[in-house]
Structure 1
């Protein structure tokens, strides 16, 4: 059994602020999904110039979020990139709440993450018919109203992350074994937050 890997917890404000730029967040997400890509490939995906994408990839690399993927270029002219950690990253709002600048960065990054997830789900809804019955029957959207303590909510988060990690590893292993038929990227968005009706 593999040791439990955790997403890197960002505690440095300058690193968090790197993601206040929406293009950087989009590039990171695209690169995470692709595994490796060049600035030109990513530029095509996000509708920007390769030079602008290269600039933002270098900024993400300065903050340790992406790194060069060695051994991919056949002629050495084009740099290949990858995310620095397959486990991704996270942050706790409370680590930045002590200053107005920190609170503003948390708000900007959190809203951008949320907006990106909403846009992704809307794009799926707009093209539901194109996915076919098997995918539309398998897709889900659920909401539960639970009565929990903060400790119980944190415990539930740990359990849900363990489930997601298990399924991610299962998908990677199947893909590595050549089982790629009908395999697509699947986005799973789970939220848990206090609410007073």
Structure 2
């Protein structure tokens, strides 16, 4: 069963394991699916089952995913999340040049994949029902904050997203699945100069 809190990645090996484009994609796909086989995930990501199996085993070796019991066909392994999600903090990697580079690479990969997800929505927006198009949002807020205020804002936004995640999970467990779709919410907060 997945932990309730995101796992904070503090070791370079796990950071590098997650920092592979296909692994990050598989991690996200498995989070959405709940449980899946390598074959099912391979169909989603358009890769060979053997390659997907290899990358799933690498994620499992770092404790990010695990084998799930009770899947359908006993000939295939079923996988599930071992953690609720992950978080990576700059302070855990800033003291070593290799850590700084790895953290930057993983962060850029994450932003690139998130951007691709949003662009995919924009490309298919007209296919969604008006209610979904009206509910979707994209906003930018340019604030003047201290580092402590930015940290607190991030904590509040994470808590808000966690509350909505728990509400959705409870509704699904109660059988209220009608009209539900997977929704991505990407939030960033960082200093900038004009």
Q: Same fold (TM over 0.5)?
A: yes
Q: Report the aligned-residue RMSD.
A: 1.2
Measured in 1, the distance between the counterparts of 2:87 and 2:163 equals 19
Measured in 2, the distance between the counterparts of 1:73 and 1:52 equals 22
2:55 matched to which residue of 1?
Answer: 56
Counterpart of 1:107 (choices 104, 109, 114) is 104
How far off is 1:27 after superposition?
A: 0.5
Measured in 1, the distance between the counterparts of 2:155 and 2:94 equals 23
1:195 matched to which residue of 2?
Answer: 192
How far off is 1:73 after superposition?
A: 3.3
1:19 matched to which residue of 2?
Answer: 18
Q: SS of the residue aligned with 2:177?
A: coil
**Paired residues of 2:5 and 2:83 also in contact (CA < 8 A):** no
Measured in 2, the distance between the counterparts of 1:139 and 1:84 equals 30
Q: Where do 5+ consecutive residues of structure 1 fail to align?
A: none
1:166 aligns with 2:180: no
TM-score normalised by the chain length of structure 1: 0.94
What do the CA deviations read for 1:46-97 (whole angstroms, capped 9, x no partner)?
11111111011001100011100111134x21000011112x1111112111
**Moved >3 Å (runs of 4+):** none
Q: SS of the residue aligned with 1:127?
A: helix
Q: SS of the residue aligned with 1:67?
A: strand
